[in-house]
Amino acid sequence: MPSMTYREAGRLAVQEAMRADPTVWCVGEDLGRGGVFGQYAGLEAEFGTDRICSAPISEAAIMGAAVGAAMAGTRPIVEMRFADFALCAIDELVNQAAKARYMFGGQSKVPITVREPMGMWRSSAAQHSQSLESWYTHIPGLVVVAPSTPADNYGLLSAAIEADDPVVYMEHKNLWDVSGEVNSGEIIPLGKARIARSGTDVTIVSWSAQLHTALDATKILSREGIEAEVIDLRSLWPWDEEAVAKSLSKTGRLIVCHEAVSVSGFGAEILATISERHFGLLKRPPIRLAAPRIPISYAPNLEDEVRVTADDIAQAARRID
């Protein structure tokens, strides 16, 4: 399988979808010059400005136009540039796209893929660094995806474009240059987790860039004789409850870690669900590791204070063992 970056894998998924289906098109700011992170580089030259549409700086207009176009029979890929900026388009996404299929009794669907680059990116400060995935998991009608590897960015984005429901697709900005093998043509079903590392002593659940930190923690723990199983959720809604429960049947111990703020973060949903439905599998109280409820600073040393580190995860695993 060829190796490519997370950025290139996403671009390949878009390119293949556009070649296969003339109703797939892209809209967002600066797409003609490749997008702010280069994830659309070269696509305007191949598909033209009718399908790679560089829009004015109005997220609400971009999202509103895409929702209408989706209900009219096309499959828009909506580029929000930063997850933070997508908040300007919340009404069109949450009150229109998420609810249209239900409110029209299934007579209409809104097959849009909303790409929202998320997460901390060195010194991007409070308005460009947020992880807001739990906002969207709260909304009935939305699918929420957060890939952590190039293979997943290709396979999950391909699945998102094919989906008939609106998908909020959150790509971490610190992963654009991460490389890995990608099997072109391998579409990954939405809602299915991946076992990133097998283990028998503790289950660590994560997603997006935090997944890589969790894997770093397992190297520390392995040297101490603690073998952690790491689950990459990949999709946050629907999330793979069965995979987590199956892992807990071996380990009996659960740690959930994510970059987003701890308060009302998606980790709380996982812990609540496991406690309500699978309490008998737990040998110890579960642990949640996440950011404190403070804005993300511009200063690198203060930014680092809100990060969940590999040492933090390793310490939690020792406590729960």
- Domain check: are 198 and 221 in the same one? yes
Is 90 exceeded by the pLDDT of residue 69?
yes
Q: Is residue 189 part of a domain?
A: no
What's the CATH code of the domain at 41?
3.40.50.970
Q: Identify the sign of the CA torsion 178, 44, 168, 265.
A: positive
Q: Per-residue pLDDT tens for 183-223?
A: 999 999 999 999 999 999 999 999 999 999 999 999 999 99
CA dihedral 146, 240, 313, 208 (to 10 degrees): -10
| Cα–Cα dist 85/76, whole Å | 18
Domain final position from 128, 153, 181: 181
Position 302: which residue type? L
Please, which residues have CB within 8 angstroms of residue 37's CB and are 6 or more apart in sequence?
7, 117, 173, 176
Same domain for 21 and 113, yes or no, is yes
Q: What percent of the chain has pLDDT over 70?
A: 100
Residues 65, 198 within the same domain: no
pTM: 0.96
Q: Which domain holds residue 136?
A: 3-181
pLDDT category, 321, cuts 50, 70, 90?
confident
77: pLDDT strictly greater than 90: yes
Q: What share of the chain has pLDDT > 90, as a percent?
A: 97
Q: How many domains does one find in the chain?
A: 2
Q: Are residues 130 and 63 in the same domain?
A: yes
207 within domain boundaries: yes
Tell whether the model's pLDDT for residue 122 goes beyond 90.
Answer: no
13 & 158 share domain = yes
Q: What whole-number distance in Å separates Cα of residue 160 and Cα of residue 317?
A: 34
Q: What is the pLDDT of residue 157?
A: 98
Is residue 63 in a domain? yes
Closest CA to 65 of 39, 19, 96, 99: 96
Q: Closest Cα to residue 67, out of 165, 169, 190?
A: 165
Predicted confidence band of residue 315 (pLDDT cuts 50, 70, 90): very high
Query: What average pLDDT does this structure show over 29-34?
Result: 95
Task: Tell whether 137 is covered by a domain.
Answer: yes
**Is the same domain home to 175 and 271?**
no
Instruction: Give the C-alpha distances (Å, rounded to integers) separating 137 from 19, 69, 140, 169.
Output: 31, 24, 8, 12
Quote the pLDDT of residue 190. Answer: 98
For the stretch 239-261, pLDDT in tens is 999 999 999 999 999 999 999 99
Residue 1 is predicted with a pLDDT of: 82
User: Catalytic residue numbers?
Assistant: 128
